[in-house]
């Protein structure tokens, strides 16, 4: 019999049942890809993360560099923010990792994660999007938001995330109340150019707590109808809004039903710091 420890951690929130839940499995040995996928399907969260030691003489308390992989219920993904935040929280809080910074070797290169008080700060790649002709994407835009006015359409080709900015005349309540049908999204975009849809709008930085922009994120192409809070989408959003607002530090709110808050800072090395808090809601054992 094999016993695999598992934690469910709500990321980008300081309240249980908010933010984005991820399942985290710290493993002493690598398992098969097939088993990773089965466990992720069983956990049935937007991502399940598997973290393993790279140096066999290390443990989760003393080690500084680990391997990290992320699986949705249907497939492995190249980058996942909330499950990285959640994995670091497990290492710092439950494995009592002694290092101020840990490094994860991933499909998106090395990701450094640092504990700063209550926050965990992730050093992520920046994925600047490029402006698109809205007519090229009118089917998917129509499926997502109907006839509401659009200000900008941008695409990040590296992440295959399409970003649609609602006109500034729209209220936040419009973004929050949109009912987006994942089946309609899937049938509206089959070219393979898009694997995730970001809807965003200008925030209200003058009202407390002062968000620079809002967003929602849909990825039915990866088996995720709507993702509650998405770190990887903010590698695109951070680039776009920093440029539009002329700001290097921003606070963002993803207004899904659960909701979550991210703090962003553009780095001098052309990357982005994405910071947030976490709450652990479950600790258990998978028995196989």
Which residues on adjacent β-strands are paired with residue 252?
Answer: 213, 262
What is the distance between the alpha carbons of residues 197 and 286, in angstroms, rounded to a whole number?
33
In 127-181, which ranges are E strands?
130-131, 150-156, 161-166
Active site residue 47: yes
DSSP per-residue codes, 83-126: HHHHHHHHHHHTS----SEEEEEETTEEEEEEEETTEEEEEEE-
Category of 115 on φ-ψ map: left (φ > 0), alpha (ψ -120 to 50) or beta: beta
Widest pairwise Cα distance in the chain: 59
3-state class (DSSP) for residue 183: helix
> What gap in Å lies between CA 104 and CA 112, rounded to an integer?
6
| C-alpha triplet 45, 48, 235: angle, nearest 5° | 90
Residue 166, token pair as written in the block? 């609602």
- Given the residues 47, 189, 226, 261, select the one marked as catalytic: 47
Q: What are the residue numbers of the active site?
A: 47
């Amino acid at each position: 019999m094999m016993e695999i420890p598992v934690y469910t951690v709500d990321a980008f929130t300081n309240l249980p049942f908010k933010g984005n839940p991820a399942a985290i499995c710290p493993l002493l040995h690598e398992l098969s890809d097939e088993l990773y996928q089965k466990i992720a399907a069983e956990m049935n969260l937007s991502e399940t993360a598997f973290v393993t030691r790279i140096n066999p003489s290390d443990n989760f308390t003393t080690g500084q560099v680990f391997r990290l992989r992320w699986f949705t219920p249907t497939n492995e993904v190249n980058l996942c923010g909330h499950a990285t935040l959640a994995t670091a929280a497990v290492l710092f809080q439950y494995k009592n990792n002694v290092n101020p910074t840990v490094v994860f070797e991933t499909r998106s290169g090395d990701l450094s994660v640092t504990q700063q008080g209550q926050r965990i700060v992730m050093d992520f790649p920046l994925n600047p999007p490029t402006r698109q002709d809205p007519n090229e994407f009118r089917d998917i835009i129509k499926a997502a938001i109907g006839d509401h006015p659009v200000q900008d359409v941008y695409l990040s080709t590296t992440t295959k995330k399409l970003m649609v900015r609602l006109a500034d005349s729209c209220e936040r309540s419009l973004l929050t109340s949109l009912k987006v049908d994942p089946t309609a999204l899937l049938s509206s975009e089959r070219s393979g150019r898009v694997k995730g849809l970001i809807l965003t709008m200008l925030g209200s930085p003058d009202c407390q707590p002062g968000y620079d922009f809002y967003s929602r994120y849909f990825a039915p192409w990866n088996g995720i109808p709507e993702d509650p809070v998405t770190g990887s989408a903010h590698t695109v959003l951070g680039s776009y809004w920093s440029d539009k607002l002329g700001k290097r530090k921003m606070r963002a709110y993803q207004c899904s039903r659960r909701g979550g808050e991210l703090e962003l800072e553009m780095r001098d090395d052309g990357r982005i710091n994405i910071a947030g808090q976490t709450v652990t809601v479950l600790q258990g054992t998978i028995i196989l």
